[in-house]
Amino acid sequence: MFFDEAKIFVRGGKGGDGCVAFRREKYVPLGGPSGGNGGKGGDVFIRASARLNSFVAFQYQNRFSAENGQRGRGKDLLGRSGESLAIDVPLGTVVRDARSERVLGDLVSDGQEVCVARGGRGGRGNAAFATSTNQAPRISEKGEPGQRRWLKLELKLIADVGLIGLPNAGKSTLLAAVSAARPKIAPYPFTTLQPNLGVVTLDYETSFVVADLPGLIEGASRGAGLGHQFLRHVERTRLLVHLLDGASGDPLHDFDVINHELAAFSERLASKPQVVVLNKMDLPSVREIWPLVQEMFAERGIEPLAISAATGKDVRPLLWELARRLAQIPVEIPTQEVEAEPEVDEKTFTIFKDNRGWHVRGVAIERAAVMANWDQEESVARFQRILEALGITMALREAGVTDGDTVYVGKTELQWGMGEEE
Mean pLDDT of 187-199: 58
76 within 8 A of 34, measured Cβ to Cβ: yes
Question: Which of 124-128, 200-204, 227-231 has the largest mean confidence?
Answer: 124-128
* pLDDT tens figures, 136-151: 899 999 999 999 999 9
* pLDDT tens figures, 329-384: 887 655 555 656 667 788 999 999 999 999 999 999 999 999 999 999 999 999 99
Question: How far is it, in rounded angstroms, from Cα 394 to Cα 405?
Answer: 15
Residue 219 has pLDDT above 90, yes or no: no
User: Between 160 and 409, where is the model more confident?
Assistant: 409
User: Has domain 161-328 been given CATH number 3.30.390.10?
Assistant: no
User: Between 2 and 361, where is the model more confident?
Assistant: 361
Question: How far is it, in rounded angstroms, from Cα 280 to Cα 170?
Answer: 8
Query: Which residue ranges does the chain devote to CATH 2.70.210.12?
Result: 5-155
What is 5-155's CATH number? Answer: 2.70.210.12
Q: CB-hemisphere CA count at 13 Å for 275?
A: 24
Whether the CA torsion 359, 360, 366, 368 is positive or negative: it is: negative
β-sheet with 406-409: strand ranges across = 350-354, 357-361, 406-409, 412-415
Task: Quote helix, strand, coil % in the chain, to nearest 5.
Answer: 25, 25, 50
What pLDDT score does 237 carry?
84
Question: How far is it, in rounded angstroms, from Cα 142 to Cα 148?
Answer: 18
* pLDDT tens figures, 30-64: 778 999 999 999 999 999 998 887 888 898 899 99
* pLDDT tens figures, 277-319: 999 999 999 999 999 999 999 999 999 999 999 899 999 999 9
Q: How many CB atoms lie within 10 A of CB 248?
A: 17
What pLDDT score does 166 carry?
83
* pLDDT tens figures, 88-118: 998 889 999 999 889 898 898 889 999 999 9
The residues near 274 (Cβ < 8 Å, ≥ 6 apart) are 239, 240, 241, 242
Residue 217: name the closest of 206, 229, 207 by CA. Answer: 229
Residue 232 has pLDDT above 60, yes or no: yes
Question: How far is it, in rounded angstroms, from Cα 114 to Cα 321?
Answer: 38
What pLDDT score does 192 carry?
44
Three-state SS at 239: strand
Q: Residue 358: phi, psi to the nearest 5?
A: -90, 145
Query: Which residue ranges does the chain devote to CATH 3.40.50.300?
Result: 161-328
pLDDT above 70 coverage of the chain, percent: 87
The residues near 27 (Cβ < 8 Å, ≥ 6 apart) are none
What is 350-415's CATH number? Answer: 3.30.300.350
Mean pLDDT of 213-227: 50
Number of H helices, E strands in the chain: 9, 18
Question: How far is it, in rounded angstroms, from Cα 167 to Cα 173?
Answer: 12
Give the Å distances, CA to CA, from 28 to 25, 77, 347. Answer: 5, 18, 41
237 within 8 A of 264, measured Cβ to Cβ: no
Query: Which residue ranges does the chain devote to CATH 3.30.300.350?
Result: 350-415
User: Between 176 and 322, where is the model more confident?
Assistant: 322
What's the DSSP call for residue 221?
A: G
